[in-house]
Structure 1
């Protein structure tokens, strides 16, 4: 039987009914004259009709299939990509609609340089369960001299490399953050950017630029406010040299600081009140971190001069800083200045040995016991848990190991006080969170969920302008909220929630051996370190 006879035979066997077209029968000869493509078309049409007939009469059952994707219970809080408006872990999208993608879906921008992407080889090193003792540091070899440390010089950006991209996501997961804490960070940053002045600066009293947010009276410090706004933006990976939705805001803030810096490096604008050296230190810290992240040569000299001014302003007698240059120090202002020195060191800028010796001297003077466990606001005053937290972070930055007995005991005292204290004090929380995170022990495991959830819970969530901020008077009055205002409250809250990735872990554990060297301590000369240890 030839191929062209097949349709006729099939039709005869199935229906044995005449085929009609325009009322006339089709004879076999006509059918055999159909070309091969017509035969194929006829066969496929017949097959479809037959299948429809069988389905209609229930002779073929097509199972209903559904495709679902579910996450095991308890896993959602451990993923950094499930956010209502997902921007966590990635500052590189230029979309700013209610539900932007995590990464831009458009073609890659050839001008974009991912300058703040992790430079750590083998991100698998960020294991979920850190374990093992911290390796001992060779302080004698790493702290000599005034040049940047060898590892830092080769890869200056590494200490800041956890702030964005996959590195940030992995650190959030491993160090104790959640998608909700990351969402709080991004919402808070959006509020900060909305309240930037047209000249690029910020002010503590946001009512100068916004009549919608509740009115508040604060101290006046344009320099301090600009530094406080820039630090959490930089901490979340936003840079003025990398394309992102906040790139222009960061750039304009840095331009304002540089434009208002004096020849001697002083960044403060607006008098010499109690905010003077607070403000300069905070702004200097922002300049150093912006330089360390971007390697922008235009920031190197402003950052260097800002650090030189800190060195000149140090009290030659106590080694501390207070409100004005040369004034006998207090631990509160001291903390911001040693943080600025740390940022300079991480960025590869030179920190004078004499300045670091003074830092060590001040910490010894501010301690209230022979073991250097507790610290006071000023030398010869009573111990303060808040100042103890701030001073012990300074000790960590100066090179005390995590196993140092005084550090362990002091951090334990701070943790115990935090558990029983009902006061709202974001300044305290900011320093205590860094202290305990660096320790990474049971105290940190108890404190982290408490402060994290408290900050998420108290953030403003509404449709108005205050959305994303923290109110210094709600749900209770913050200890320093009336002085610093909403911008101060919001900035320190965000910085506290960025503790997981803002800097790489200060102390390295066994599962991190393949990582680059951890952020080095400030290079205190070896002889001064040995002398300090001998006294203890």
Structure 2
């Protein structure tokens, strides 16, 4: 276990390495996926305890007083009073994995996360509150911010791991991604493709088939002779080959069900 990344007294995993709530969600997801996978009972107890404390922090962070638009989501620090889709997706994935591992997550926590994600879907609503545009993107923040393939895939996946598989926003996001697939010129290509591969796989049918073909075509073509992937654009460029290779491998392995979070 990565004991060099240890929680502080409040269970915060993203403090010691300054990865903040991004790292907290990612590491909580990792630990939750490891629960029950070891042959060591003591290790399994340590993992479960760490997941329980990490989940408690995620829930406390969601409870911070926020505006109506930001309520239910997460941002960079546990005490942040705003939210965005890229941090929030890691928290809901961590919560789903924890719940799968037997760590209780209250329904109210999931319901608030669902409401937040749906506010990020860029469509007008009818009098019943349903979106009228069934081919639209999710934005980085509710009611505004950039709208890309990566934010849309993140929004779709967030709702799917909250069991909203047939929500209109998921259907509309899938339709949008069929016409706006990933491109290596995107500033967050590897990061977004990780969400894209999972979200479209969960959508199933032609969505899954097209996404698998697109993901394999792009990533195989971009792989370096030494087997690594190297990010090319924007802020992602400085993240380096370990980051890109990890996300590339995770994107390519979705349909193999190696990880519990990939299962339907």
TM-score, structure 2 as length reference = 0.81
Question: Which residue number corresponds to residue 237 of structure 2?
Answer: 482
Counterpart Cα distance in 2 of 1:270 and 1:401: 36
Q: Higher helix fraction: Structure 1 or Structure 2?
A: 2
Question: Which residue number corresponds to residue 185 of structure 2?
Answer: 423
Match of 2:197 among 433, 437, 440: 433
C-alpha displacement at 1:505, in angstroms? 9.1
Does residue 375 (structure 1) correspond to residue 138 (structure 2)? The answer is: yes
CA deviations 1:476-496 (Å, max 9, x no partner) are x23442242222111111110
C-alpha displacement at 1:323, in angstroms? 0.8
Counterpart Cα distance in 2 of 1:307 and 1:323: 16
C-alpha displacement at 1:382, in angstroms? 4.7
Q: 1:281 to 1:504 in 2, by over 3 A?
A: closer
Whether contact under 8 Å (1:311, 1:352) holds in the other structure is no
Does residue 492 (structure 1) correspond to residue 247 (structure 2)? The answer is: yes
Does residue 348 (structure 1) correspond to residue 111 (structure 2)? The answer is: no
C-alpha displacement at 1:422, in angstroms? 5.5
Equivalent residue pairs, number: 241
C-alpha displacement at 1:346, in angstroms? 1.1
Greater RCO (Cα-Cα under 8 Å, separation 6 or more): 1
Match of 1:413 among 173, 176, 184: 176
Question: Which residue number corresponds to residue 29 of structure 2?
Answer: 285
Structure 2 residue runs without a partner (length 5+): none
Whether contact under 8 Å (2:33, 2:101) holds in the other structure is yes
Question: Which residue number corresponds to residue 326 of structure 1?
Answer: 79
Alignment of 1:25-104 (within 5 A): none
C-alpha displacement at 1:348, in angstroms? 0.9
CA RMSD of superposed structures (Å): 2.4
Question: Which residue number corresponds to residue 58 of structure 2?
Answer: 310
Match of 2:49 among 301, 308, 314: 301
Q: 1:459 to 1:428 in 2, by over 3 A?
A: same
For residue 78 of structure 2, give the secondary structure of its aligned residue in structure 1.
Answer: coil
For residue 377 of structure 1, give the secondary structure of its aligned residue in structure 2.
Answer: strand
Structure 1 residue runs without a partner (length 5+): 1-250, 462-466, 507-517, 520-536
Larger Rg: 1
CA deviations 1:291-333 (Å, max 9, x no partner) are 1433712211111111111111224431111111232100010
